[in-house]
Amino acid sequence: MIKCNFHTHTTRCRHAAGADESYVRAALAGGFTTLGMADHTPWPFASGYESPVRMLPEELPGYIASFRALREKYRGQIELRIGVEAEWFPRYADWVDRMSDAGVEYFILGQHYADSEEEYPYVGSPWAFDDDHVRRYADACALGLRTGRYSYVCHPDLFMRHRPADSFNAACEAAADTICQAALEANVPLEYNLLGLSLQNGDTTGYPNPAFWTYAAKWHNKAILGMDAHKPEALENTALWQRGIEDLKTLGYERVETLEIPVKE
């Protein structure tokens, strides 16, 4: 059985818990055949801004070295891949190339800000009720996808995090169209985010957003499950994984089980 998750974080992002090896052991316990690490990418902010939600640039070598060592230790038991979850900030395009040269094997597009975090607020905040910013978010996603650098789009419906279900309006439809079309052209799947699914409650529809996924089905994008694990035990939640599979079937999406990611040594 193939069971792969390419969206996993570490304590370096400052909002996750657990030792690096604990994630590997939990993935084995959860039945995963491939575990991809994709911690929040460091950015060398020109302003000197230090983000509270991502690793620092100087932590990147240790991150890569740690999982290279774990890959060797667990060889034959599980496949490990080393990536990052990254926005597309055109002003820092060269840094994406430098991370790849340093050993990052894949990038998933997690566009948390319409442009650099130094100046723009979080897309998933109540600020996203502003339709103009929803459009900016979608345009930023499309711009990133057109670079060909990204393996998939994680939580493409992040802008719906604090919008009630009945607020999926014309601007939200246009944003979905922009993202879905760009993903099709780049031949990459959309992520059905299982962390968001686990956090949904009566206060917010959150994401994965039913209105987004129902509307976006007309584009016939493929979809991939992402645990978005911020603690090791999340990888052992087999019931949540199965719920994601069933949701995608109900919504009519073809599920991508794995990604072809070359190993860098």
Q: What is the pLDDT of residue 206?
A: 84
Q: For residue 176, what is the domain's CATH number?
A: 3.20.20.140
Residue 95 inside a domain? The answer is yes
Residue 118 inside a domain? The answer is yes
Residue 260 inside a domain? The answer is no
pLDDT > 70? residue 159: yes
Residue 262 inside a domain? The answer is no
Q: From CA 184, how far away is CA 240, in angstroms rounded?
A: 27
Residue 264 inside a domain? The answer is no
Number of domains in the chain: 1
Does the reported pTM lie above 0.85?
Answer: yes
Q: If we measure between CA atoms, which residue out of 119, 153, 129 comes closest to residue 222?
A: 153
pLDDT tens by residue, 178-224: 999 999 999 999 999 999 999 886 555 689 999 999 999 999 999 99
Residue 75 inside a domain? The answer is yes
Mean pLDDT of 16-32: 98
Q: How many CB atoms lie within 10 A of CB 224?
A: 26
Residue 50 inside a domain? The answer is yes
pLDDT tens by residue, 83-124: 999 999 999 999 999 999 999 999 999 999 989 999 888 988
Q: What is the pLDDT of residue 200?
A: 82
- Give the containing element (helix H, strand E) for 224: strand 223-226
Region for 165 from its dihedrals, namely left if φ exceeds 0, alpha if ψ lies in -120 to 50, beta otherwise: alpha
Range of the domain at 231: 4-251
Alpha-helical segments (H) within 51-124: 60-73, 93-102
pLDDT-derived band of residue 53, with 50, 70 and 90 as boundaries? very high
